[in-house]
Amino acid sequence: MTDAEWETVRLLLPVPAWLEGRGGQPEGYCHRQMLDAVRYLLDNGIKWRAMTVDFPAWSAVYAFFRRWREQGLIAEFHHRLRGQVRHAEGRSAEPTAAIVDSQSVRAAETVGASTRGWDNGKKVGGRKRHISVDSLGMLLVLVTGANVQDRDAGLPLLEQLRRLHHKITLIWADGGYGGRLVDFAREHLAMALTVVKRPDDSTGFTVLPRRWCVERTLARLMHRRRLVRDYERLPTTSEAMVMWSMTVLMGRRLARRRPHSPG
């Protein structure tokens, strides 16, 4: 990352436990090295053991990644960045509306049979990313087998969305999230789920109101070679990879807004 990016994100990093007197030992590498190593793995789609000598040992980088995943630190970092991006855009930190959609990706042989499936609509065997975003960034990620229908995965997705973001009252989605999910969202979650459909006379690519925001995010995820195909044994690791990808996007966006120092 550039110096401007590092100066932007360094104050948003989770504070290590040992600095707050909660146990543990000081880390042997600085956070900037670790963040750069994870970003390198995301961008180039390499194996952990193929980490170049310019970064710390692959085992140290993986231990850092795993600790941030298991302790929820990557989610905390992601949420802090999202709040800063929303603030920079003149919005409140907590969104009041969201858009949901899904993306099916092929799975490598490292993905177990219990967490993969076949998406008959997209003709893709692997995993399906169900995400919820606001107009600026990602809010929540849920990874399931690709055979899980949108309306079935939408139920836990909306429940988590309500639990994490209590101010959200309006959801936009495509027709796959319709049916009984609309009634459930209204009666049990106090959310208005609106289905945005394609015009009947449309052909080819069509920019749809509201839905284009989540489709843009899904397209940006595919810029990271590690996310073009799902290589992760655990769905939670896939979720962490998606969040790491979004932190890169938001960090760069904030760095561009950062005023340049004189001289």
Give the per-residue pLDDT at 219.
92
Give the per-residue pLDDT at 137.
63
Give the per-residue pLDDT at 212.
86
Q: What are the beta bridge partners of residue 176?
A: none
> The whole model's pTM is what?
0.88
Residues 106-163 pLDDT 10s? 999 989 888 888 888 888 889 998 888 987 766 677 777 777 878 788 888 888 888 8
* Fold designation for 3-257: Nucleotidyltransferase; domain 5 (3.30.420)
Per DSSP, the three-state class of 251 is: helix
Q: pLDDT higher for 172 or 261? A: 172
Residues 68-79 pLDDT 10s? 999 899 999 999
Query: In whole angstroms, what is the distance from residue 175 CA to residue 144 CA?
Result: 19
Residues 10-67 pLDDT 10s? 989 987 665 566 666 666 788 899 999 999 999 999 999 999 999 999 999 999 999 9
Judged against a pLDDT cut of 60, whether residue 180 lies above it is answered with: yes
